[in-house]
Each structure stands twice: as structure tokens, then as C-alpha cells.
Structure 1
Amino acid sequence: MLLSRLNEILSQRQLTALFQPIIHMQKGEIVGYEGLIRGPSDSPLHSPLNLFKVARANNLGVAVEHMCRRVVLERFAELNLPGKLFLNVSPEMLLQPHARRGETLGYIDEVGINPERVIIELTENQPTYDYDLLREAVMHYRGMGFQIAIDDLGEGFSSLRLWSELRPEYVKIDMHFVQGINHDPVKLQFVRSIQEIAEESGTVVIAEGIETQAELLLIRDLRIAHGQGYHIARPQQTPGTDLPMDVAKSLNRNGVAVYPQKSAFEHNIVTAMKLLRAVPAVAPGMTNNQVYEIFRAAPDLQIVPVVDNDVPLGLITRPDLIDRFARPYLRELYGKKPCTTFMDAKPLITDKNTSLQELSQIIVEADRHHLSNGFIITDGGRYLGMGTGQDLMRELTQMQINAARYANPLTLLPGNVPINEHIDRLLQSGARFAACYADLNHFKPFNDVYGYRKGDDVIQMTGMILGAHCDPNRDFIGHIGGDDFIVLFQSEDWEQRCEAILESFAAAVPEHYCSMDRERGGYISEDRRGRKVFHPLTSLALGVVRVDPGQYLSHHQIATAASDAKRQAKKIPGNSLFIERRQGVSSSQWPYPG
């Protein structure tokens, strides 16, 4: 049934090309389109996933892919779309022994597209092992004028190795790492790391799957070159050639995205032991045929260590062994020989107590294949197991996030380091913002009378009130320490938000006092000389500095100005707001009833 439907689709060319724009994140311009394909809308083969699944199951993958390629190229030329065309091609397609490599160029000649406008986008559907052959195929396409892109970086079976082996002009970050990046510091660090590698290797990064304005602005702030996703534009048969007005307005708006913060700070020293994976080893006397059968029985197994009496001797990698056995007569010649024949006799070996920082430095200085092959972990020279480069990268990413955030353990809000980083980003962007310093009045005697646990409750309440009246995508809240906070407003209605903060605080703080103190509007404590002193209920003082482009040069100057404004606010009785406008502009102040 499905096979006959597929044959009908091929014979009648019942495929439709769709195009999704790819934009320049800094310039706000469309730079090209990804060509996508759909089957008939009334067919179970409408989805490209189903279409290619049925095609491969019936040995029609090559025919379907060539037809898709032709349909996309013809439609792209017919629409006369600007920029580049990202044309999806599977690696296994390039590796077909009788692949018609000249056919794509022939299609392009027919429709009149310059090959330099076409990007071959490699989309990985299954593991790729013959990297030498794939590299040769890619060189062939480059020789015809095409550029290369790798799709779904971070999602596929071996995308990091593909990047290393093929050195593509473009890499597309898988949408998993883009969607929700404004809430996930691990995703943020992953994308930031990919961008750093791309800058070193001369590769252009494209972020896929951008679905919200917050994701769009954060990707822009990370200096990712290009973006793509539903928030920008959905795939269409006849796509627009101009950026949607709301997207262009967002990209052109001054300001910075608020980076997600780690909720707690850890000082743990992490060692290689945390990366340990139990991988069964083989003896040096085992034959290559026996090792091959081990790989065949365990499709996910990539590395087999060779160990003699608990002493590691080397590694055998799946790609290397399979590649050798694929060559004529090699299996017959070497199948019964010891597995040490094809073993990497110089693996990277590290002790379980090696810190991850030391281990990463060792890998950086070693040959690059150790990152993909992994490393042997030992205990006093005795084999324990294996560690992978992927696990090392993930753990290092987590450690970097922890070390960079210095989150306050009481409120879980960012501390001084991320506060200063965010101020510097605001200053560098030329954005207008308001720095609001928040401090509690009469808090120390409250702590003395009611105890530190009650004091912690008030500090946590203050942090929650600040958060409730801020836009999480535009306004940054930091906990300087003790009862001091700072809010960096990019919201235009920051004054109204400050007023709402003071009103909410005035309504909430009495609940932290006993009924007698609430009724008399304060509490009594003893000073150092033992004298009774009356203190009014704790109130909140907000000192605000409005910052215009070029007015301040560093977070140190902002901190000083905001502190001065806070001191002025504390001179006003009760819950108070003091706004200081530099460059000779008058200031405003008013108390709020508490």
C-alpha cells in the first residue's frame, strides 16, 4: 500500500517544496532559505520523516532524495528567491558507490542557479563510519563550487566528529539547545562554546528552532551569526523576501537579553572518576574477528579497550575496525590475527584522581582523535573503565557555569560577578536602563529582636517581590548581599514597577511581626548601652540611577552612583523612592506609606 503510494508520488512528482528563511542576526536581513519537502497533504507520506522511512525500507532512498533535490531547486529558481539555498543531503547519499554526483550540478545548470549560492546541508539519519570516503565526496562537491553545512549539531550520532573531519563552512545548532535557552544555563554555555569553536575555525553558526522573542534576543547577544525558526518565519511554499516587521524591530532594539543564572554555587573539585563508564575490556590474544563480533552484537559500543592483567594496552575503535574490514581481502588476511594488530597502542590514559581541568589540558595538548576516541581511567595503573570526550565537555560546561555565577544561597539570585557582567553588557550595547539599588531600613535591630531565621524570611520575601514586578526577559535582579539588592531595568515603565514594589512590600512586611508590634507600628530593642529604643517597621528604600548611552564607562561607576542614590532614599522616612538623573537633571523623591 505505502510502496505503491510512494511509486505514485515519484512517477507523478507529487512533492511540494517549502522554504524557511535564514536571517543575519546582527543586520536583520534574510541571507538564504532552507529547502524543505512535503508529500501530498492527504497522504500518510506527507511528513518527510515518513516519506524517507518508507523510501529507505524499499531501497528507494536515492530516487526519492534526487527527486526532492530537483523539486526544491526548480521551485527556488522559479520563485527567484534571494540569497543562498540550503539543500538537504544525507551523508549516506554521498557515500552511495554509484551516486550520481554530477546530477545535482546538472539540475542547477538546467534551472540557472550559480553553484556558489547552494549550500549542501548534511543531515545525519544514521551513523557515519567511512569518514575518508565522506571527506572525499565533500571535496568533490566543493570542487564544483558548493559550500557545506552540518545540520543538527549536538543531536546526531557523530556530529562533532563530522565538524572536525569535514571543516564545513556552516554548522546548525540543534533546536534542543536553542529552545528554552533563556531559562537554561547549560544550553547557554553549550551554544556559547560552539560559537567560540566556530570563531576559531572560521565556521558560520546558524541557530535553529528559534520560537520566542527571548530566544531570538539571547541568540543575537551571543553573537551567533544566523538564525532560523518559527518566531522568524514558518516554512512556506512562497516565502517572503523581507524580514517580518516585529522581528526586525526586536533585532534593532537596543538592550541585552537576560542570561539564565545557575541557582547555586558549588566549590567541588571534580575528578576523572565522575566520568567513569564501565566498558568491558578484551585480552590482547583475542582475534580481530572476535572483536568485530562484539561490535556487531552491541551497535552502541564505539570503543573496546585492550587490557592485559589489569594493565591497559590500547584501544580499538569501531570506525577503524569496520573501515579496515570493509576493504578487499583485509578481513581474510587479518581476521584471525590478534586484536593488537589494529589497536591504538598510544591511548590517552589518566588516573581517576586527575582533575577535569588537568584532563582537559592534557586532551587539548594531545592529538585531536583522543577527544572522539575517549580515554582510559585507571586506579594506580590498573584499568577501571573509560571516559568520553562528550562527558568531559558536558561536565566542564557545568563547572564553568557554577564558577561564573556566584549565586546567593538564600535567595538563589545572581551575586556580584553576574551583576557586574550584566551591567558591562548593558553599557557595551549602548542601551538605556535604570539601575535600582534596594536596601532595607531598620533591618539589623529586627534581626536582633526576631532572630536571623525571621530576617532570612524578610530577605527572601524582598527578593520575591522584586521578581514579581520585573520582566524576566528584560529586567535583571541581583542579590548584592545581606539585605542589599539591585534591579537593572530595561522595561520602559520602570518607575511604575518601582512604585508597585514599594506598595507590595508595605503590604507584606507587617506579617513578619507580632500583633503588638504591628499595632504600634514598630518594635523595641536595646542598644549597646542597654537603653530601650523604638524602631519603626522595616521599610524598603529604592535609589534609582537612570543610565543613558555614554554616561558611564564601567560597572564600578554604576555601583557608586546607585549607592549614592540609595543613601538619599534612606533619608526619606518609610518606604521610599529616590530617582537621580545625572548631567544636571533634577531628581525626584517621595515616600510611600508603610
Structure 2
Amino acid sequence: MSAKNERSTTGQSEAAGDERSQLCSLIERSALRAVHQPIVNLSQGVITGYESLTRPEPDTGFAHIGEVFDAAARHDMLWPLEDLARKRCVESVSPEDPSLIFFNTSPRIFADPRYTDSIRTLIEARPGLSPSKVVLEITERAEAPQDDGLERQVRALKDAGFQIAIDDVGAGTSGLNRIMSLRPHWLKLDRELVDHIDSDPYRQNLLSLFVHFAKSSGVQLVAEGIEREEELMTLIELGIHYGQGYLLGRPGRRDQTLDGPLLRRIREHSALADRSRRRDPSVSCVDELMRRPLICDARTPVVQAMPMLLADPLSAGLVVVDGRRYVGWCTREALLSAAAGASPHTHVGHCVRSPGVSVDPGTPLVEALRLVSSRAGSDIVEPLIIADRERVQGILTIQDLLKAAVRLAGGWRAGSAPMTGLPGRVECDQRLANILAQEIYADAVFIDIIGFYRFNKRFGHEMGDLLLRIVSGLITTTIMGSATSDQTLLAHLGDDRFLVVRLEGSVDRDIQLLLTEFEMAVRQFLDIATHPDGDQNEVGAGVEPNSEDDRWGLRAVLIPDIASHARHPRDLYALAAQLHRKRPDITAGGSMIIMQSRAGDESREAA
């Protein structure tokens, strides 16, 4: 070896020794500090979580965190470094903060047999934290080979209640294979897919495929590296629900606030995008069948949650929330097992073994069925959670979904509705299209029963079917009156929804008469429902009239002169859906009229 080469080798060895010493010193002194970058819900314009990152202290000799991890990889010290990084991040998190915590982990450490016990012990030792609040990210940039160890660890972490994310999707070489094998809860789309997406239709088409996949598979998407507002608005239009990047917030303090004017523009643009994607009223959606669940806060002690579950022997479990955010589903078996050996400090959040995946209320039943059928193992029997902007609205059990599948398979909309014998959706659309084509004056009234799903839950579907036939008869005698069949159209659109179209005369007074008749009829009907043996002393004595759950009414959406508002039946259904959303159900009972005038969107309500 020449003297020059010897000096070079000696210099490299000394530099490596210095680097290793610096790294050991950093780990021994815990010389890392945590920073947090917000992950924003693009539907609401609020922070839903933070990616927790670390930075080296100035006196460590490392310029940035990338140098630290590169050095750890060279000196086989990734485990102690990542262990320190996780601890520093957890220490900086307030247990009272309901936001999700995202941690980055390399595939090599993820596959280490020590990892599951290490992260679980770390989280459970922090009061107020639980695995259900933690999302563990696996970077896709790493060239580590896919092995059984990584897949085993991911399965174990899912069973422990953690959520799994794949980071940098679109930047690696084996992304699709990793997605298929690990089945993550989150996909974080790399900056390469986001950069200038507002002017690149090719990128837009690619992200549209990811959006479709995510909806069908129950996966959440986060767009990373958002730096321009034009990119952000395009992502919202494409249906991306979460975003991260310097435009929304840089890594910093966890209590940082976001730019107010930008958040206002996000909410406004999201509302516009939502209206443009408004569902087709002819399609049955999950909110038509959802039922009310048992809901419990994640920080509730197990011993306090047990009476709630035991009081409802038919419930298979609890919906667990953290504040308003849906956390996950806790089965009856998991809660009973935890209660058997629970300490006073064990919280319900620690019992969640199925991290939260939910669908919007407007999700078509066909999509919901496809989503549930793609579940693996025992997850397939868990209910489908319905949440509006992360707030739980209801659930659908597997039994509910199977009934929906039977109904859809039967094609019951095609002809007459079997429940009432009235024209179904297809015949209704044909006749309605003819009326609109003639451009003649006609009024349309969309009618549904407020609180119908509550009625079915309390009295059963047989009584619900009877109530539908009663409403059908009342509509026939009040609004239809003595009009001939060529002057009117009465159709049963499905579930508790009816449509009346009348070509002659105003229907205002007839609607008022319908509501009055319904109020009288429903009280008599309730006496029958609550006293099937005829044992009642007076009309209405079978129910408590002031009980919120025991009051029902009709909602009538009136659209006069339909030809001035619509050219096609779908236009009329879209307008009715828009008006329907303007006035929510009156949960204390009563009836409602919503009127669309020629002048615009003026509405009025009458009890």
C-alpha cells in the first residue's frame, strides 16, 4: 500500500470514528427535539393529526436529521436512534389532544421482532394515549426487500390497535406490491404526484384512480408536499380528503394555528366541490338504512363503559370516539375481556382492535357492499360506520347490508313498488320525462317520513311497512283527491319516499291537510303499535307524547311549475335533494314543508 493510500484509509477511518462518536453522544444525551407538521382535513379545514418528526440539537455536529439517520444506517445504529426519536415525539404530545399522531419508521426497524412490544409499551405508558391514536408510517423510498417479518409485524400492530400508513407512495419502486401485501389504513401520496397537478391532466387522472381505490378499499389518502394553493384546490376537487405541506403548515410547535383566510377558502371550495359531486337521488345510500349506535369516548374507563354495553344485549360493541373524531370499533368480547382484569386506569381506547374506517352518509349501498366484501378475516363481520366529516352518524350491521343486497338484487325499482303497489322509480321517471317534455304546468311534492328509521328500530319492520301503506293512502285521499290518472302521478320512490305530480290546481292547502291527517292517523296507529291487545284507556295513551324518540312527522318538499326548474327527471331529483338538505329532521317530532318558489331558493317551514 502506498503512503498516499495509507493516509487516505487512515483519514477515512478517523472520520468514521468521529461520526460514530458523535452519533453515540447524540443518543446518550437524547439530543433530538420533536417538531410536528399538521395534517389537515380538507373537507372541514381543520387539523386532524400531526406527523411527528425530530431535529438534531445544534451542538451534535449534524446539520440536519437526514445526516443523523444516514450515519445510523452506516454504523448499524438505527434501532437505538429510532427508539430515541419515538420517545422524544411521544414525550412532546399532550394526552388531552385528540389529534392523530403519525410516526415515521424504516422498514428494517418495522420488521424487527422487538418493534411491536417496544411501541406498544411506549404508548401505553403515557397516560391518555392509546394505540388507536397512533398511525405508524412505513416509508416507500427504502429499498429494503419485502419480507415475511415486515408483514408479520404489521399484522401484530393492527391487532394491537395501531393504524398503518405507507409513506411516499409514488416515489418507490415496489409501491403497489407493498400496498397489496400490507393492506394499510392510510396512503400518503408523494410530492412527485402533487407537484403542478393543477396543470397536469395526466397526474389528475392518476390520482383519480387512487381516490377510486381508496373509496372501494376503506383507505384514507393524504396528499404530501402541497406548496401552492392551485395544487390544493385541485386536490379538493379530485376528492382527496387530507393534505400536508408547507402551504398548510411547516414542522414546528404542536399548538400552531393555521392561516385563517386560507382555511376559509378551503371550506368554501370543499363545499362547492361537494355540491358538484352531489349524489344522484335515484341511488340508495347508506344513510337511508343506518341505525343509532352506542358511542363511548376513548378515555372512558372500561369499568364505566361496561354498564352501557350490558344495558343493550343486542349491541355487538361500541363505537369509540375521541372528542368528535371516530377512533374505531370495540367488540363486546374485547370489552368484556378487558373488564375481567382491568385496572381502574384502563380506558376503552386501549380495547380498540379495529382502527376507524368510515364512509360518508351519501355513499351508495353498492359501494358500501363492495367495501365490506373486501375486508379480510374477522373484520368482515364488524359494522360499517357512517360519519359525516369525521362525526359518527350511525352504523350499518352486516344483516342490514345483506338485506340491502337482496333488495338491490331483486331490482324492485323496475316496476310497481311491492310494499304499496304504486308505480316504482322506473315507471315514475318515464311518466315524469313525458310531463317535462310537454313543458306544461305541474307541481311536484316529494314526501318522506321524519324519523322513519327510529320507528322501524322501535316497532319492527312489519309495523314500518304498515305505516308506509297508511301514508300512501293518506296521500291518495288528500293530495290526489278526485283528480284523474292523466292529471296526477303518485309514485313510491323507495323506502319512505313518495312523489306526487299534479297538473291542475295548487297543492298548498292539500299538503297542509295531509300533514294534519297524518298527525291524527299516527297517534291512532301508535296506540295499535304499543297496545297490540287493544288495552288502552284513551287515544294516544300508549306513548309519551313529549318523548323525542316517540314523535314522527312528514316532510313535504314542494316544487311548483317543475318545467321552469327542470328539463330531465334527474334535475328535479337534484333540486329536491338540495332543498331537503336545507332543513334537517326535527328530532322532537312535528311536520315540515319546504317550498321552492319561482324566484329562487326561498323556503318556508311549517310545523
TM-score, normalised to structure 1, is 0.42
TM-score normalised by structure 2 residue count: 0.41
Q: Which has the larger radius of gyration?
A: 1
